[in-house]
Amino acid sequence: MREKGIKGSINCNKRKSDEHYLSFIMQKKIKDLLPKWIFTKQDRNLTLTNDLDSLLSCMLLKYLFGYNINYFYSFDFMAVLDSSDKRSSIGVDLALKNGYTLCNHLTLKHINSYKNPDSVNLNNILGISNDNYSQKYSGSTLLMLWSIFDLPLPKSEEGKKILLSIDSAHKGYRKPQYRHILVNWLDRLGLTELIPTLEDNPFNEMEAFRFKHELDTSINFNMDRELQFFPSGRNKSSDGGLDLEWISKHLGFQVELPKEQFEFELKATFTNENIEAHEMTQKTIDKSFSYAFTYKNKLKLSTIKGVA
C-alpha cells in the first residue's frame, strides 16, 4: 500500500509539474508576441485614466520602473501636470489608436482589422475580435501586468481578492458555462493559483468585497483641479471604504493619487460616440484617438475636439 501511495504521489506531482510547465510555455509564447518596449525602461511618463485599474497599473509601473503620471485622460479631456515635461507618454488601461499603451480592451472588429502595433493588449496579439467576442480577455490590465512581469501573487487572500475584483475579473467565474474561458486565461498567464480564491468566494461574496472596499471607485477632478476619488455609492457597509494603505499593504507596492494641482489649460478635449460595429470603418478608426468594444457589436469611440 505504501509503495502504491508513493507512486501515486509521484504521478500526481508529475502531473502538477507538467501543468506548470505547459502554463510556462504558453506564457512565454504570449510574451514573445508582445511589443518589446514593455520589457525595458522607457524615457516616458504615464497617462492615467479614470478608474482603479489604471491607477493600480500606473503605481505598479512606478514601483517596477520609476515611471510617473503626467497626464490624466477622462475620455472627455486630457490634462497635464507638468507641461514642461515634453516626453511622450504611455497610456495605461487605455485603448489608443496610436502610440505606446497597454490595456485589456477589445479593439478588433475582425481578426485582420487594424491594430495599434505598440499596444500591449492580449486580445490584439491573439487575434480576438468582435467575431469571437466571448473569448476575449476579461481580466484587468493590472492582472495582465502581473503576469508579464512574473510577479509572485499576494500571500494574503485579501490581496488575491483585490486582484480579482479590479475591473471585475471575478465576474467571468459567475456562470458555469463560461468559467472555462476565465480559467483558460488564468492558465495562459500562469495565474491559476487564483482559481481557489474564486472557488472559495462565491460571486455574491466577491461583489460584497468589491463594494465594501469601494474597488469600483472612479477618478476625476474636483473644483481645485486636483484628482479625487468618486465612490459608486454601492458600499452599504458601515465600515470599509477605499483605503489606499490597505491596498498597498496587500499588493506590495505604494498606491496613491498625484497630489499636485493639474495645469489650468486642458491639453485636449474629446467627443465621445457610442457606435455599432457595422459603423466601424477605416475612416472611423483614422479619426479616432481611442476606441474599444464595450459590448458585443458596440464600441465607444473618442475623437479629438480641440487641442490647447
What pLDDT, in 10s, does the model give residues 157-175?
999 999 999 999 999 999 9
pLDDT of amino acid 283? 92
pLDDT of amino acid 236? 85
* Residue 255, pLDDT above cutoff 50: yes
Look up residue 110 and give its DSSP letter.
S
pLDDT of amino acid 22? 55
What pLDDT, in 10s, does the model give residues 77-125?
999 999 999 999 999 999 999 999 999 999 999 999 999 999 999 999 9
pLDDT of amino acid 24? 63
* Residue 71, pLDDT above cutoff 50: yes
Instruction: Break the chain down into helix, strand, coil percent, rounded to 5.
Output: 45, 20, 40
What gap in Å lies between CA 63 and CA 255, rounded to an integer?
9
Beta bridge partners of 274: 300
The average pLDDT across 206-210 equals 97
Q: By percentage, how much of the chain surpasses pLDDT 70?
A: 91
User: Minimum mean pLDDT among 34-38, 120-124, 168-172, 263-267: which range?
Assistant: 263-267
pLDDT of amino acid 13? 43
pLDDT of amino acid 25? 63
- Give every CB contact of residue 206 below 8 A, 6+ residues apart in sequence: 161, 164, 165, 170, 198
